[in-house]
Amino acid sequence: MRPIIILFALLLALTGCHSPTIKDEGEDLTGIPYHPKPYNLSIPKGLTPSPWLDDHILTEEGVLLGKYLFYDPILSVDSTVSCATCHRPAESFSGGKGKSRMALTLLNVSYPRSGYGWDGRSKRLEEHISYMLNSTMYLQLPDAPLIQKRLISTAYYPKMFRKAFGIQNTTEINSKYIVAALSQFLNILLSGDSKYDKVVRGEMFFTPEEQDGADMFFDANPLLPDAECAHCHIPPLFYSERFANNGLDSVKNYRDFTDPGRGGITGISSDSGKFRIPTIRNVALKSSFMHDGRLQSLEEVIQFYNSGGHRFDNYSPFLHPLGLSEYQEHALLSFLQTLTDSKLRENPDIESPF
Ligand code: HEC
Ligand code: HEC
């Protein structure tokens, strides 16, 4: 009996010491070739390359890894939520909600903006991706050992991290590479070939109604009211690098805004109620609108602007009741619909791999 027990104990002790060392040493990946190929980014005809893109060297392997991570709930604390849960491809990479704010679209996210987030909290894209990953309001990325363990337990991630970043061992998998890969993927989400762009290039014509909508949007026809939109939603990206209060909330005091927006970051009371002026390319693909998703259709958005919204001290001087007729409201809607880029969804590089 005794020698058997000793042998058994010895075996237990051996395996007991052995498995942690295997884990600590990780797995050698140097047998897998590391030859990243530059990613051939095709810039839609209506855009020029982002001046910020130089910061990112895109590779096929990096973009592919970023795509897997984007669609994979593996990064969230309880493995239930992925980036795509809130940034839904069919809804202009938007549509989901955090605690109180609507997800911003990720299309053209590589272009300069006055900070990422509705309040402009992050200066750089990587910084904001880190925020989305780590914030308890969003993914709440597990701690380093756990996320490493999860990724290593799949058949593909160790190989993909090696191929994208040349890591030599699975122990090198970390959040820095996760952020870098996600950033590469987000950089390929470009939209700039809608009907509007084709009309600008002379390849198509607007319908008379769309033309009336465009004329009001850009104040191009003295016979039609000026809808003032293009002061803030400026082509080609139909956004501006500014924050504005477009009159959504009825308040008596700066403290009354339910979400202070930009004011929550700067601490300046007159920034309260100001939000980033978002791009409205592909906006017709969305199902709720504004920073908190309070409006449920583009018709409501246009009715809101037509009403002029709520005046307050920091209310933008570009806004006022527009006096649009029912036809004119509809014409403006028709124009907004020409900003949808239907080609976008045909790109296999952005489709979910799962
Ligand atoms: C629970 C929903 C949710 C999830 C999951 C989520 N996001 Fe977001 N995302 C949001 C919301 C809401 C905002 C606006 C945040 C704000 O204003 O504070 C946002 C904003 C962003 C922005 C800023 C865009 C801009 O134009 O400023 C980026 C970039 C982004 N998310 C990337 C990601 C990535 C990458 C992931 C996955 C790692 C992710 N998000 C997961 C809801 C989500
Ligand atoms: C003073 C600048 C300004 C003007 C002028 C302006 N907007 Fe906006 N727009 C904004 C801001 C800021 C937001 C985001 C506000 C928020 O959510 O708090 C916004 C949001 C939107 C949205 C919702 C986007 C989304 O993703 O939810 C649409 C659509 C829109 N504007 C269309 C228009 C149209 C059409 C006009 C002209 C009738 C117009 N805007 C005029 C600043 C402006």
From the CA of 110, how far away is ligand 2's center (Å)? 20
What is the 3-class SS of 284-315, one letter each residue?
Answer: HHCCCECCCCCECCHHHHHHHHHHCCCCCCCE
Residue with tokens 């980014």, as numbered in its chain: 41
Residue whose CA is closest, atom 19 of ligand 1?
A: 103
* pTM: predicted TM-score of the whole model, two decimal places: 0.92
User: Quick one: which ligand is closest to 180's CA?
Assistant: 1
Residue whose CA is closest, atom 1 of ligand 1?
A: 98
Residue 81 token pair? 């939520």
In the chain, list all ranges with CATH 1.10.760.10.
27-191, 195-338
CA angle, 55 as apex, 53 and 57 as ends, to 5°? 80
Residues 6+ apart with CB under 8 A from 27: 152, 158, 169, 170
Residues 6+ apart with CB under 8 A from 227: 216, 217, 219, 305, 322, 324, 332
From the CA of 155, how far away is ligand 1's center (Å)? 28
**Among 246, 318, 335, 338, which residue has the most ligand 2 atoms within 8 Å of its CB, making it the best to mutate?**
246
**Among 67, 80, 86, 147, which residue has the most ligand 1 atoms within 8 Å of its CB, making it the best to mutate?**
86
Q: Which CATH superfamily is domain 195-338 in?
A: Cytochrome c-like domain (1.10.760.10)
Among the listed residues 120, 100, 102, the one whose alpha carbon sits nearest the alpha carbon of residue 112 = 120
Residues 6+ apart with CB under 8 A from 295: 288, 289, 301, 304
Q: How far apart are CA 349 and CA 354, in angstroms?
A: 13
Measured from the Cα of 286, ligand 2's closest atom is: 26
Contact 172, 157 (CB under 8 A): no
Q: How far apart are CA 290 and CA 76, in angstroms?
A: 26
Over residues 81-91, the pLDDT tens digits come to: 999 999 999 99
pLDDT at 98: 87
CA angle, 267 as apex, 264 and 273 as ends, to 5°? 50
Measured from the Cα of 102, ligand 1's closest atom is: 12
User: Quick one: which ligand is closest to 279's CA?
Assistant: 2
Over residues 128-163, the pLDDT tens digits come to: 999 999 998 999 999 888 999 999 999 899 999 999
From the CA of 246, how far away is ligand 2's center (Å)? 7
Among the listed residues 130, 133, 109, the one whose alpha carbon sits nearest the alpha carbon of residue 188 = 109
pLDDT at 11: 47
Over residues 263-314, the pLDDT tens digits come to: 999 999 999 999 999 999 999 999 999 999 999 999 999 999 999 999 999 9
pLDDT at 344: 80
| Residue ranges with strand state E in the chain | 87-88, 94-95, 243-244, 275-276
Domain 27-191 fold is Cytochrome Bc1 Complex; Chain D, domain 2 (1.10.760)
pLDDT at 24: 67
Residue with tokens 């198509």, as numbered in its chain: 204
Measured from the Cα of 96, ligand 1's closest atom is: 2
From the CA of 244, how far away is ligand 2's center (Å)? 9
Q: How far apart are CA 289 and CA 300, in angstroms?
A: 9
Chain centroid to CA 194: how far?
19
Characterize the bridge pairing of strands 94-95 and 87-88: antiparallel
Burial of 4 (0-12, 13-18, 19+ CB in 10 A): exposed
Residues with CB under 6 A from ligand 2: 227-229, 231-233, 244, 246, 248, 275, 277-278, 280, 283, 286, 289-291, 301, 305, 316, 318-319, 332
Report, as ranges of residue numbers, the positions in the chain whose pLDDT lies below 70.
1-24, 54-56
From the CA of 139, how far away is ligand 1's center (Å)? 10
pLDDT at 1: 43
How many Cβ atoms are within 10 Å of 108's Cβ, its own excluded? 24
83 phi, psi to nearest 5 deg = -55, -40
pLDDT at 221: 97
Residue 81 Cβ inside 6 Å of ligand 1? The answer reads yes
pLDDT at 13: 47
From the CA of 337, how far away is ligand 2's center (Å)? 15
Contact 144, 134 (CB under 8 A): no
